[in-house]
Structure formats: C-alpha cells, structure tokens
Amino acid sequence: MALAPARTKYRKSQKGSRAGNAKRGNTLAFGEFGLQSLTRGPMTGQQIEAARVAISRHLKRKGKLWIRVFPHKPVTKKPAEVRMGQGKGPVEYYVAVIKPGAVLFELAGVPLTVARDAFRLADAKLPFHCRFISREAAQA
C-alpha cells in the first residue's frame, strides 16, 4: 500500500499553483547528508516508497534515514472512455508537491561515499532531478 493520509478534511482538492521555490524544508534539519530537488513536480506515495526501499537496501540496515516529504494532495482520475461532464472522478492516489530546493530525504551515521551512492539510487526512482547535499559543504 502506497503512502496516503489517514484522514483528510476534504476528499478532493483543486490543482493549485506549483510556482516558486521551496520556502521551508529547504535545509538539512536532522541528518548529515540530504537529497535536494532541483526541479518541480508531483511525487507520488509509490515513488517515495521506491526511493526509501532503494536507500535502505543500499545501507544494509546501517545509519538513520529521515523522509522529509509526505503525499497530502489527492489526485483524481476519471475512468477510461468516459464522456466529459458528470463531475470530477474518484481519488486515484496522493502526491507531495515538490518545489525546487526541497529536501526530500536525510541520512546520518554512514560514510559520505555510501550516502552518495544510496541517494544516487534513490534519484533514479524520482521524476525530477535532485542533488546530493551535505552539512560540511553547507557550512564551508
């Protein structure tokens, strides 16, 4: 089962605006290393889970991983070959709206090379470009 909110105030939501850069959640808060988005787009619960599995498999149960994003936004879809009108379709899945600069994952307790490789594998699972960031580089 993919990530989804336990309960929401409203079942469906409008698309909204995806413009601008990430104002919050754009710096390392927990770990030594992070994966930061460079472009914008929706990230589904399945993609978050696929990236998490890729990272944790590479780490072999070492280190600590933080997931900094959660899919709160419902995406609806009408069934195939249905005429226009008759309202909005049912909720298909949930997405996290990702803006440039948002930190997606954080990692601590592993060497730099291991973290870099783990995040490289996770980046391949995501629908947008990301970069590796570290606490040492941010302070220097």
pLDDT for residue 135: 86
Q: How far apart are CA 41 and CA 70, in angstroms?
A: 14
pTM of the model: 0.89
Q: Give the SS3 label for residue 131.
A: strand
- The architecture in CATH of the region 41-76+90-139 reads Alpha-Beta Complex (3.90)
pLDDT for residue 1: 63
Each residue's pLDDT expressed in tens, for the chain with a length of 140 residues: 678 999 999 999 999 888 999 999 899 999 999 999 999 999 999 999 999 999 999 999 899 999 999 999 999 999 999 999 999 999 999 999 999 999 999 999 999 999 999 999 999 999 999 999 998 766 65
DSSP label of 79: P
Sign of the Cα torsion 76, 72, 3, 95 reads positive
Where along the chain do its domains lie?
41-76+90-139
Q: Which residues pair with 41 in a beta bridge?
A: 98
Sign of the Cα torsion 10, 20, 44, 57 reads negative
